[in-house]
Structure 1
Amino acid sequence: LAAEGRLDRDRLLDASLDALQRGFAAFRAQWFGALHEALQPTIDERASRAPTYLALASSPVGATASLALRALAQLDAAGRLDPVEVVAELGPALLAPAKGTARRAITLLAHAVDAAPGCADGASTQLVEALGHPAREVQADALALLMRWCPTPAPALAAVAADRAPGCHPAVRDELARWLDASGGDSGAPSPERRVSARAAPRLRRVPTIADALDPARALAPVDGIDELVELASSAVEAPGDPDDLERLLAGLAACDRTRLRTDGRAATVARRATAIAGRDRPAAQLVARAVVAAFDPPALGGIDDARVRVRGGRSALAIEDLLVARARAVEARLAAETPAPLLSVPTHRGGVLDPGVLAERLARTDVAASDPDLQVALLRVAPDRAGLELLAAALPDDRRATAAVRAWCTAWASVVHDDRAGSVSWSAPTQHHGEYAWCELSVDGIDAAVRSTGLRPMRVVVGRWGGRFAQDPAGVAWMGSIVPWLPSAWARLGVATIGATAGVRDVAHGDVGYLERWFDPAVPWTDAVHLLVALTLDDVRSGVAAAAVDLAVAGWRDGRVDASVLGRHVGALASTAAVTPARWGRTLGEVAATGPDERDAVVEALVAAVAVAEPPRPQTMLALLELLESLVLDTGATIDDPSARAALARCTGGGKTAKVAARLLALEAR
């Protein structure tokens, strides 16, 4: 459309860059970056957006930072970068977790000083912070430039460098000490008395409560008029995203003035686009598009193929993906028929949460069968507050068809939620053999357990790993997750079972990243099963999944929901099987550790816990983890004093690289 002149090219370029600054998770941000690059900006177009690229170079999303630095490199090669702006704005990119990103930023900074030597002092002030980067190569690049620009460092610069010295790689630290000697400064090498135990004092974990989920600040606002409804529908049809917005759209469609809506030219345009999408896009987009068509242009539904989103019958228990489809199709039918009854399951708060009091009000205004999928989703979403459930049960009229079933649900629901959160996850990873072939299967117990209640059809939080409707649809997976906000362990077990073993060659299910979406919400607790899911996805070979897992681990540590030792135990247990490739953790956990001192300490705690329980098939499979642990404890001046971890390190004998790293870790105590 831009090539045809039907869309403003400059607006698309600006909007795609603006989206990259909105804090989206990595897997969402990648789409906007791909759109921006697909437009193939010219040098002039890039030059006019240089300040935005400079800001994006420090993005926590690796793909976004790489995009920005590539654009800046093109401008640099064309002589279109302002050296003063580069020196002023590029500093945060020097500490990017990815080694390559940080080194490219250093190169740009060096070119800026070459073009404007008067900027050397300002550039040195920025560059000295790169001595705190975890990668030895970044530290070495930074130090080489500092020594070139400032052969005799000023006292203020030397003081900052000395402060960063304890975290430097030993080889870099020696060179740094010689440079600082030229200014009479302290080299900053860690002394024995500064060393501490790698078993950090346990941090108090924050366990989210029901009150957190029902916080008024998390309440969802209804759609405000036709203007917002049309805009929301247009966005959701093209790219279904946040499940809360999809639910707000359904509620807005049900509540709007249809006569006025159908005379709005914008609605007709959206309806035509939705009609085109409804028969050929991914299932989540199809469901949204069909609902929009049902509200905007009901007769058009008859000509749309619904093969991929048909309701399946004949099953004793309703799988969660089928429940989502059945409920969406029921809402679609209600919209097409202009039935005035309220939508029972639309959440009242972010994360798919439904207030029991609001559900009571909705049920009082309608009479539905206990088998109604909208009611079943509402019951899964209702907050398990015992007082609220008692009021809900008491408020139901005795003459309604679903009253007995809802009251039975209210009696048992809080206990079901408690058991889900309190339980530990049990799994196995047996190696299967067929002739000359061998592979590892990751099996999670309890994946088929059904949620049962008197008078209601049993519901199972399970989908087919390869044949599920949403296997290639992250938006659909995230929407499924919003149906079970109070069953975090069940949802995490489903994610683990669906993703499966990450080692070796396997089919790629692009919807898998959607299983991580729920845990970014600070009101959702991290149970034992959630820690297993994050440990597994940190090892994933797919960059989109692994990047999302890194972002998730950082978010969880920063808001206090992660237990580092629990995560570490799952890493160690997985490393004891053939289900994973432990070397990948060396990269992803290193990226987590690079985001800050608290995250670094947490990764050290997790690695010590992993070493303590791991029984790897070959010692060398732990090499990347041990090398990362060594690097981090050298940064902090820590020692390993956990008895189980020390015993595991002592078992690494021989002349190989793994044994040498283990020996160095054990020897730290004597320093």
Structure 2
Amino acid sequence: MTDPFEFLVRGDISAAVDAVTGLDDQGRRSFADGLVAHVRRRRDNWWWNNEATALAVAAVGCLPTAATAAELLGRRNVSLRAADAGLVVQVARTRGVPWLAELAYRLADRLRRDDPMDGWGFVAELLTAEKAATPTGDQFVEGWLALMAWPPEWQRPVPLVDRLRADVFLDALVPRLFEVDGAGTRMSFDEFMTDEKLALPRALARLAGEGRLDRTMLLDGCVSRLLRGDRPAALRAFVTLHALLEPTASEVDRHRGDYLRLLADAPGSVASMAQKTLRALDGVEVEGLLDASRAVLVRPDKAVVRAQLGWLDQLARRHPDRATEIAEVIATAVDHPAADVRDRAGTLAARHGHVVAPRVVVGAVGDDLPPPAGPLPAPPAITDPDELAEEAASLLGGPTTASGLERVLDAVVRLAGGDRARLKDALLPVLRRHRAGAEEHPWDPCCLCGLLGGVLHAAADPVEGGVRRGRWAAMLAALRRRTPGGPSLDPRVPPPHRLLRARLAEIGDRVGPPQHPGLLAAPTTANGAIDPEVLYERLTRLGERGAWEMDLTQALLRLPARVDEPLAARAAALGTPAGNRLAGWLRAGGLPTPDQRVVTLPRSEHRQGYYWGYEHLPRQRTHVLVSPPEGVDDPFGLLTVPAGSVDSYVGGAALLWPAVLPGYRGLVAAYALPDIASGADQDLSGGAAILPLLAECGGDGGPAVDLALAYGLGARHESDRVAAVDALLMLAAAGDLDAPAVGAHLGALAAVGDLTLTRTLQPLRDAAAAGAPLSTWRLLAAALPALLAAPKAPRGTPDLLTLAAETAGAAGARIDVPGLAEVAARGGSSRLVTEARRLAAALDQ
């Protein structure tokens, strides 16, 4: 039977108009019921372009209320980005729909938070046609901003200020810019045609100068937004707008208390703006300034603190009767983390009558870190289908963790051999809700969505397993390299992830009756490792039943990389192929140690065609090449890490690899190195999250771990730098940290500009404060020679020299730093020379 609504899927707009034209009330109700049922039935269909227009025409032409139309058109699989709103308005006019404006408001409330431009233009056209009031919800404001940054092609030659001047939404939405959290990030775009920086604040200031916008509203809005705070990047546009408005003395005086609050509490760029604004104002109340200064002088941003010290010095000169009181406030900075700030504060405090007691430094040789606690035990096995459904929902609805994935896979294997009907009842609602297994992500070769969903479907319904069995068999055959001319391996998928995908394929292919005791590879500790005795017991219980090949392979890779001859003899006595394989593995001590070589790879040549973002790629990147020892077979490619490109990135997939190879820390680090490096040289986030997981692994680290820590310490995002510090401290506590090697890599990368040195200061200071001053000092001592030998010392070198002097004194260990004496002997009083002399003096004590 032909579906009467098939014209919608074809995107036949004319058919949609004809279908809703001339319907009576009964026909319209019948058509509406069928339309809603059709859309729900086609939940996997993506409605966009002509399909979305046809759907919108049908919805407005037959549905009874704005609420039901918004429910249909606001579905996640409906994109109104390119829908023809004008045609929808015509249909509404023909029918006499009274609720078109209400529909626009409801759709405005449903705009996607991650992409508010999708449907914004459609909503805006409906509002304009109805001459309705402007909605001011957060998503509508952000969609408007996105359109200003990326206008339609026909508007791109028009300067932003002219587009704003003629915009019907301008007056209603501009005041909301100061109220929507995060709006400042979208406001920081450049002029489309001229690339003028921060075009929107400049255009707003120009419109205020013309009288088109209320200047007082803009200035008050800036101050209000800065007081409420936001991420520093989101406040940049408001700082720029504030400067462009050039507040008068009376306007500054009106907000004097607000500026003092910003000076004390706001992010560095905002505090600096408030500081400059107040310094330009005559007659700032001394008491208020001193109260704010006590908070300012303990801020970590040195530029603000140094400027405040200079301001207080001038204030003490102008008010000699209060010089001692001001000097006491200045003395607040004598405990500042930066040595040059401490020195300056002590000098100024003494100049104005306050003597600062000398700092007493108590030296402590070595690090003071608690011993490593060892990996936690793995969470208990899942024993009930309902519990499995809960864990599967958590896994499908959030980030895939190694621990959660292994628990679900082990439970699937055990429970699918029992009450299949109960398992199906528990799992299928979860799979439908998350659309698990509906699609792979072709842009992400490491995506596990389809495979994991397929395994869960196969566990719940054997028919589903049969549908996917051919694809799973092809994946396994490709990995085993037993099918010449067959499916090839995707070079974008690293071998650890390839093995994980093969395990999922094998489980999907084999899951179901008869009853199975569970996966051999189920970890016994939270880091993915398996106790060798436990694996031997599992093989004993397995008896004559053959072990699954990939399952046993993964189980062996999770054993500690050491020789165990007594257990090997017991495994061989089992007399089974799996027992013999375990025995051989234990006698060999695991995987052979691969060869590692550090290389620096240039950015590939840009030959032809459009390569978005090519100019933002790093010009080079340092990698670790890994290859198997001569004469050693590498059947799964696990001992081979080739030279990758500087734009390779697998995202969160790398977080699963430490549990694949928990005894081979250096090998996993080599595979994950491109992701970790991307956080430092491409400013991507999340790559260094793997570092604490690597620290929990066993085995040698080698140059890959050392290089990964160096890149992690220089990551753009704070969360990545924190992860690097955590890993550094864990390795130091376990005695596995090669601090000089990490420092040598850090210095070499920073000296040639492959790493931003200033980012490393705070994480290294945190590591020293957390109980690792000796490790930090050894790291710095190895990093400084390359930095001091550079033609121009990288920005941040003086700060590292300061920290080196502090940690050298606290650790009580003398290490020669090549090049230090030459820099310290230079003439002048630059910060580089001054801090070099400070370190040299600390080493002479």
Short-chain TM bin: 0.5 to 0.7
> C-alpha separation between the residues in 1 aligned to 2:751 and 2:329?
48
Q: Which of 1 and 2 has greater Rg?
A: 2
For residue 579 of structure 2, what is the aligned residue in structure 1? 403
Question: Unaligned 5+ residue runs, structure 2?
Answer: 1-69, 77-108, 114-138, 146-175, 183-228, 242-257, 278-286, 483-488, 608-617
> C-alpha separation between the residues in 1 aligned to 2:310 and 2:451?
57
For residue 654 of structure 2, what is the aligned residue in structure 1? 477
SS in structure 1 of the partner of residue 530 of structure 2: coil
Q: Do 2:334 and 2:342's aligned partners in 1 also have CA atoms closer than 8 Å?
A: no
1:267 has 2:429 as partner: yes
Alpha-carbon displacement from aligned partner over 1:543-572 (angstroms, at most 9, x marks no partner): 35x852443224532674487983344433
Structure 1 stretch displaced more, 259-268 or 655-664: 655-664
For residue 374 of structure 2, what is the aligned residue in structure 1? 212
> C-alpha separation between the residues in 1 aligned to 2:393 and 2:274?
40
Correspondence for 1:572 among 744, 755, 760: 744
SS in structure 2 of the partner of residue 233 of structure 1: helix
Residue-pair matches, total: 581
Correspondence for 1:248 among 404, 407, 432: 407
Q: What is the CA-CA distance between 1:376 and the residue it aligns to?
A: 0.6
> C-alpha separation between the residues in 1 aligned to 2:695 and 2:142?
29
Distance 1:285 1:132, change over 3 A: farther
> C-alpha separation between the residues in 2 aligned to 1:314 and 1:358?
27
Q: What is the CA-CA distance between 1:646 and the residue it aligns to?
A: 4.8
Quick one: which amino acid aligns to residue 299 of structure 1? V
> C-alpha separation between the residues in 1 aligned to 2:312 and 2:382?
55
Quick one: which amino acid aligns to residue 518 of structure 2? P
Correspondence for 2:672 among 471, 489, 495: 495
Distance 1:478 1:558, change over 3 A: closer
For residue 608 of structure 1, what is the aligned residue in structure 2? 781
Distance 1:301 1:137, change over 3 A: farther
Structure 1 stretch displaced more, 375-384 or 623-632: 623-632
For residue 519 of structure 1, what is the aligned residue in structure 2? 694
For residue 475 of structure 2, what is the aligned residue in structure 1? 310
For residue 335 of structure 2, what is the aligned residue in structure 1? 165
> C-alpha separation between the residues in 2 aligned to 1:344 and 1:298?
23
Q: Do 1:536 and 1:571's aligned partners in 2 also have CA atoms closer than 8 Å?
A: yes
Alpha-carbon displacement from aligned partner over 1:290-324 (angstroms, at most 9, x marks no partner): 22222234434566796999332454999433322
Q: What is the CA-CA distance between 1:243 and the residue it aligns to?
A: 0.6
Quick one: which amino acid aligns to residue 421 of structure 2? T
> C-alpha separation between the residues in 1 aligned to 2:447 and 2:630?
24
Quick one: which amino acid aligns to residue 606 of structure 1? L
> C-alpha separation between the residues in 2 aligned to 1:319 and 1:378?
16
For residue 295 of structure 1, what is the aligned residue in structure 2? 459
For residue 523 of structure 2, what is the aligned residue in structure 1? 347
For residue 378 of structure 1, what is the aligned residue in structure 2? 555
Quick one: which amino acid aligns to residue 769 of structure 2? P
Matches within 5 A, 1:82-97: none
For residue 201 of structure 1, what is the aligned residue in structure 2? 365
For residue 798 of structure 2, what is the aligned residue in structure 1? 627
SS in structure 2 of the partner of residue 533 of structure 1: helix
For residue 285 of structure 1, what is the aligned residue in structure 2? 449
Alpha-carbon displacement from aligned partner over 1:345-403 (angstroms, at most 9, x marks no partner): 0112101111223222321232465780110100111245766x734751566342222
> C-alpha separation between the residues in 2 aligned to 1:432 and 1:5?
43
Q: What is the CA-CA distance between 1:496 and the residue it aligns to?
A: 3.9
Alpha-carbon displacement from aligned partner over 1:569-620 (angstroms, at most 9, x marks no partner): 44335644799526513322334315763478454442122224x388x623
Q: Do 1:526 and 1:562's aligned partners in 2 also have CA atoms closer than 8 Å?
A: no
1:139 has 2:278 as partner: no
Q: Do 1:287 and 1:309's aligned partners in 2 also have CA atoms closer than 8 Å?
A: no
Structure 1 stretch displaced more, 647-656 or 481-490: 647-656
For residue 592 of structure 1, what is the aligned residue in structure 2? 764
Quick one: which amino acid aligns to residue 632 of structure 1? L
> C-alpha separation between the residues in 2 aligned to 1:195 and 1:664?
18
Q: Do 2:780 and 2:804's aligned partners in 1 also have CA atoms closer than 8 Å?
A: no
TM value normalised by structure 1: 0.65
1:534 has 2:693 as partner: no
For residue 97 of structure 1, what is the aligned residue in structure 2? none
Distance 1:637 1:264, change over 3 A: closer
Distance 1:350 1:653, change over 3 A: same
Q: What is the CA-CA distance between 1:488 and the residue it aligns to?
A: 1.0
> C-alpha separation between the residues in 1 aligned to 2:765 and 2:295?
16
Q: Do 2:382 and 2:407's aligned partners in 1 also have CA atoms closer than 8 Å?
A: yes
For residue 330 of structure 1, what is the aligned residue in structure 2? 506
Q: Do 2:403 and 2:528's aligned partners in 1 also have CA atoms closer than 8 Å?
A: yes
Structure 1 stretch displaced more, 169-178 or 217-226: 169-178
SS in structure 2 of the partner of residue 276 of structure 1: coil
Q: Do 1:583 and 1:621's aligned partners in 2 also have CA atoms closer than 8 Å?
A: no
1:359 has 2:507 as partner: no
Q: Do 1:393 and 1:406's aligned partners in 2 also have CA atoms closer than 8 Å?
A: no
1:320 has 2:496 as partner: yes
Q: What is the CA-CA distance between 1:201 and the residue it aligns to?
A: 2.8
Distance 1:520 1:296, change over 3 A: farther
Distance 1:349 1:432, change over 3 A: closer
Q: Do 2:397 and 2:434's aligned partners in 1 also have CA atoms closer than 8 Å?
A: no
TM value normalised by structure 2: 0.53
Quick one: which amino acid aligns to residue 444 of structure 1? V
> C-alpha separation between the residues in 2 aligned to 1:104 and 1:524?
46
For residue 115 of structure 1, what is the aligned residue in structure 2? none
For residue 284 of structure 2, what is the aligned residue in structure 1? none
For residue 59 of structure 2, what is the aligned residue in structure 1? none
Alpha-carbon displacement from aligned partner over 1:9-28 (angstroms, at most 9, x marks no partner): 99x99xxxxxxxxxxxxxxx
What percent of counterpart residues are identical?
18
Distance 1:179 1:476, change over 3 A: same
1:645 has 2:807 as partner: no
Distance 1:610 1:625, change over 3 A: farther
Quick one: which amino acid aligns to residue 781 of structure 2? V
> C-alpha separation between the residues in 2 aligned to 1:662 and 1:173?
12
Distance 1:276 1:591, change over 3 A: same
> C-alpha separation between the residues in 2 aligned to 1:462 and 1:444?
11
Distance 1:435 1:277, change over 3 A: closer
Q: What is the CA-CA distance between 1:526 and the residue it aligns to?
A: 7.5
Distance 1:335 1:622, change over 3 A: farther
Distance 1:566 1:480, change over 3 A: closer
Distance 1:229 1:465, change over 3 A: farther
> C-alpha separation between the residues in 2 aligned to 1:500 and 1:393?
44
Q: Do 1:293 and 1:300's aligned partners in 2 also have CA atoms closer than 8 Å?
A: yes
